[in-house]
């Protein structure tokens, strides 16, 4: 049995590494969620926030204070997102001014 030259060992290791990396990237691409365009719908966000607030009120009446607080926090987050969407629409820059 002859010993492999250092160059041959290096090339073999490099090829194996490339194959593993390629397989990893291919696997991530196959399982990655499809990219969707970010569409802001402030009216829907506000409707969802109102539903969460109603749910929070119901939970409060049932004595579930922690769950009600969580629902209110989620509603507040949706309101902030709706406000950010509206602000982004109001201050959107045009690619070609004129």
The H-or-E segment that residue 83 falls in is: helix 65-90
The rounded mean pLDDT for the chain is 80
Q: Cα(20)–Cα(87) distance, rounded to whole angstroms?
A: 45
pTM of full prediction above 0.75: no
Q: 82 with 45: CB under 8 angstroms?
A: yes
Band of the pLDDT at 11, cuts 50, 70, 90?
A: confident
Sequence spans of domains, the chain: 42-90
pLDDT, one tens digit per residue, over 53-85 is 999 999 999 999 999 999 999 999 999 999 998
pLDDT, one tens digit per residue, over 25-40 is 666 665 655 544 467 8
């Amino acid at each position: 049995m002859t010993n492999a030259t250092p160059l041959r060992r290096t090339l073999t290791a490099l090829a194996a590494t490339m194959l593993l990396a390629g397989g990893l990237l291919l696997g991530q691409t196959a399982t990655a969620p499809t990219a969707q365009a970010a569409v802001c719908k402030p009216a829907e966000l506000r409707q969802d926030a109102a539903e969460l607030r109603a749910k929070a009120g119901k939970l409060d009446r049932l004595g579930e204070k922690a769950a009600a607080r969580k629902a209110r926090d989620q509603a507040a987050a949706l309101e902030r997102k709706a406000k950010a969407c509206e602000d982004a629409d109001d201050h959107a820059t045009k690619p070609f001014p004129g």
